[in-house]
Structure 1
Amino acid sequence: MKTRKLGLGGPEVSAVGLGCMGMSAFYGAADEAQSIAVIHRALDLGVTLFDTAEMYGPHTNEVLLGKALKGRRNEAFIATKFGINRQPDGSAVTDGSPANVRRAVEGS
């Protein structure tokens, strides 16, 4: 697997990452066992970059990644996003306030 360095002194990650959104949001019922199997296979193939977001749940996708990476955490780099929060009616609210940053990081 080819790799890329993030920034001047940042970590090296796989050039191909795995977006995990569909494993817990937006595309119908989730299958945790299948999702974990996909994450494990990605790791086995050399994928080290996993993309998630607070709004995929909220935090449901991050919890899934935590379960899948148990015992293999040193093999992965997780990129998680925040600032767009789904509302009960399905709409989204953007919030980049310092208070929301703290809340999102603590939740992650």
Structure 2
Amino acid sequence: MEAQAYRVRTLGEWEQGWKEGEIVVQHCSFFLCNRMLESYIDNVLCERKGVRFFFPLCGKAVDMKWLADMGHPVVGVDIAEMGIRQFFEDQKLIYSEEVVPAIPGAKVYKV
């Protein structure tokens, strides 16, 4: 395998991938992307309510909405603003956008 296969994408390349529709991992329909999460959710929750979930590189993961609809706080982080905006638009969620003063260029999107 060539070394290029394991190269880390730059921010520009990642954003370009979103613009060109190349980021296909996030393209799930009405069902959950992660069937394993659905299968084992009772084991994860252990009858607890309000369990906090963190989704690094979240993109448009519909699992976030599924968990939030169950009453769990969810935080997703992604470098591509386009994917984050698409998540809220696809889920028909009204969201706010705030600048994070301590981190240049960072924003928080929330419902």
Instruction: State TM-score, norm by structure 2.
Output: 0.35
Larger Rg: 2
Higher strand share: 1
